[in-house]
Structures are given as C-alpha cells and as structure tokens.
Amino acid sequence: MNRQPIIAIDGPAGAGKSTVARLVAEQLNLLYLDTGAMYRAITLAILRAQIRLIPDQIAEILDQTIITLHPPAHPSQPVQVWMNGADITTEIRQPYISDQVSAIAALPQVRQMLKQQQQAYGQTGGIVAEGRDIGTEVFPQAELKIFLTASPQERAKRRQQELINQGSNTELEQVLASITSRDYQDSTRTIAPLRAAPDAIQLDTDGRSITEIVDNIVNLFYLL
Ligand code: CDP
C-alpha cells in the first residue's frame, strides 16, 4: 500500500460523527473531511439559484460552484466552508438547509460530482472522512470503517443542544421530526443510501462520552 490509511465514519444525523471524526483526525494527525458540509454547500447553491431540479439546470449550478473546505481553527469548531469565495460556514448549518439537503443529496449528478471531489481529497490517504456512504461508496477500501449510532431521542437532544449553541432555540419534537425524516430519506434513496458497510464496526454512542468513543476508534486504528 503506497498511501496513508483511511478511516471512514458513517451514521445517521446527530450520532456524533463530526465531533468524533474531528478529534480522531487531530489525535492521529490525519486530514478531516466532512462530506456532509459539501452536500450542505451544494444545497445552498441550488436554493439560492432558485432553479428547477432538472438535469441541465443542476449541471449549470454544479459547474459554477466551487466549494473549498478549510480546517477548523480548533477541533471543537466545525470545518470552515467557502463557496465561490464567500464564507458559508454558519449558513449551511441553518435548519432550512438541513430540511432540504437530503432531497438534493439524492440527485445522481450531485453525488457523482461530490464523490469525485471526496476521492481526490483521499487520494494519498491519511484522512478521516465522515458521512453516509464513505465506507460503502467513497472509500470502500478504507482500512477502518466505523458506523456510529445512537437512539433517535439521544441524537435529537444532541442536535438541539448544537442549535441552542448557535443561538437558535428549537423544540425537541421538531428536531426529532427533522432528523427522523432526513434519516428516512437518506436510507431509502436509490444511490448510495445510508447504511453500514458489511465490514464496518458498529459503535452505539448512547450514554458514552465523546472521549470514550474517540479513544475506542484511536485504539482500533492502532490495532490495524
Ligand atoms: O451532521 P449531520 O448528521 O446533521 O449531517 P451532515 O453530515 O451535515 O449531512 C447532511 C446531509 O448530507 C445528510 O442528511 C445527507 O442527506 C447528505 N450526505 C450524504 O448524502 N452523503 C454523505 N456522505 C454525507 C452527507
């Protein structure tokens, strides 16, 4: 193998993938790739353009949209996302993007383009990539595949806390409905649905601290 190892972390909304992946990448000195941020950025581009979701119009937007990811200033912060020279880090976390992203992420053209970009990031390995289809489609050759889960209630509580931290108060019921709907759309789509790769290690994060999960993954990595 003439590339560095790849760690793939997949799982449903709010399972803690981003936080865990960021900290694992920091501890192991690997690049962190948040593929969900890329889907969120394209969703923002399509919503702003107010186009109809037909192949020609989608192709035009994809051609015009340049997304760049910059490492967070600190591992407790999300990745910085820029689109065509503008910082969209905060905007892509807004609930109106969360509510539309699964529909946009189901479009074959969108997936094809982002998969290519993600594979380019991982060409030399040395990467922790998180998303929905990393272990199954983007990096099926990843040395370590993790599927993070947690109960819907627990995931909704975590997501609600994140929203509060961003200054937006949302009812728990509403957050739960939003992540449940997104999980349903993500796991039932035809292309690259959310699912664990057959060789993924499933980790249930209910009642376990972030540190515990990160240590667990780092130890699994050292056993490779
Ligand atoms: O962080 P959270 O769990 O809310 O989601 P995210 O990782 O930001 O991903 C947002 C959405 O992008 C998901 O609900 C999926 O629809 C889509 N996505 C995807 O289809 N494939 C990926 N590899 C990553 C995200």
Q: From the centroid of its chain, how far is CA 154?
A: 18
Ligand 1 mean position, distance from CA 14 (Å): 10
Identify the pLDDT of residue 1.
Answer: 59
Residue located nearest, by CA, to atom 19 of ligand 1: 132
Q: How far apart are CA 6 and CA 37, in angstroms?
A: 19
* Probe residue for ligand 1, chosen from 180, 182, 191, 195 as the CB with the greatest number of ligand atoms within 8 Å: 182
Residue located nearest, by CA, to atom 2 of ligand 1: 13
**8 Å CB contact between 135 and 11:** no
Task: Give tens-digit pLDDT for 53-77.
Answer: 999 999 999 999 999 999 888 877 8
pTM over 0.75: yes
Nearest residue to 45 via CA among 145, 115, 147, 113:
113
Residues with CB under 6 Å of ligand 1 are: 13-14, 18, 35-36, 39-40, 101-102, 105, 131-134, 182, 186
Task: Give tens-digit pLDDT for 161-217.
Answer: 988 988 888 899 999 999 999 999 999 999 999 999 999 999 999 999 999 999 999
Task: Give tens-digit pLDDT for 11-32.
Answer: 999 999 999 999 999 999 999 9
Identify the pLDDT of residue 187.
Answer: 98
Q: At what angle do helices 108-121 and 95-105 cross, to 10 degrees?
A: 100
Q: Which residues contact 101 (CB under 8 A, 6 or more apart)?
A: 36, 39, 40, 43, 182
